[in-house]
Amino acid sequence: MKTKIKICGLQSAEDIEMVNELMPEYAGFVFCESRRKVSKEKAEELIKSLDSKIKKVGVFLDQDLEEVHNIAQDCSLDILQFHGSESQQYCNSFIQEIWKSFLVEDESSLEMLENYSTEGYLLDSFVKRVAGGSGKKFNWEILENKEIPRTFILAGGLNSENVQEGIRRTKPDIVDVSSGVETNGCKDYQKIKEFIRKVRA
């Protein structure tokens, strides 16, 4: 089965034009504190122009239930990605598909997965005081020969140079990239194109 692609941290009309042309399966919008954060209003505007075949993922971090509900509804989000200490009960409050993020420091980090039964498990790099989007990869050896029981999203430090190795070693369903397709903090058309080419090769 082919590995799908999520381009995360879209912020501008130019970003939307790029993904509409290059067609990853998922587009990510960050609604928590981050240099890539977009307001609900801005995201609504961008999503109007997004190709309807691309699924919309909202990224949140320990936010108020009502706030997340409102954003999810107004932006017609398909998937909610939670990067904080949200409980399974919190995750159950939504009708959208849920991806729960886990920061991987060592093999014991994977024990947390047993506390959740969300549709997707996103594994990202553990970097102190950073909840994702760090641009650092974790030790993929931890995942070799491990069976991830749900949809498995690999994140953390991916780029066109290492994504094929990441896929070969960890066998994710989806690869998630943000800083790995940026130049000077902005999405870079050539980098996105090359990343997607490598994944789909």
Catalytic residue list: 8, 124
- Residue 7: count of CB within 10 angstroms of its CB: 26
Residue 14, Cβ density class (10 Å: 0-12 exposed, 13-18 middle, ≥19 buried): exposed
Contacts of 100 (CB under 8 A, 6+ apart): 81, 82, 86, 91, 116, 118, 120, 121, 122
Give yes or no for a contact between 142 and 125, defined as CB atoms under 8 angstroms apart. no
| Token pair for 137 | 């990869």
Give yes or no for a contact between 1 and 175, defined as CB atoms under 8 angstroms apart. no
Give the residue carrying structure tokens 């090769």. 201
What are the counts of helices (DSSP H) followed by strands (DSSP E) for the chain?
6, 10
Give yes or no for a contact between 134 and 156, defined as CB atoms under 8 angstroms apart. yes
Half-sphere exposure (Cβ direction) of 157: Cα atoms closer than 13 Å: 14
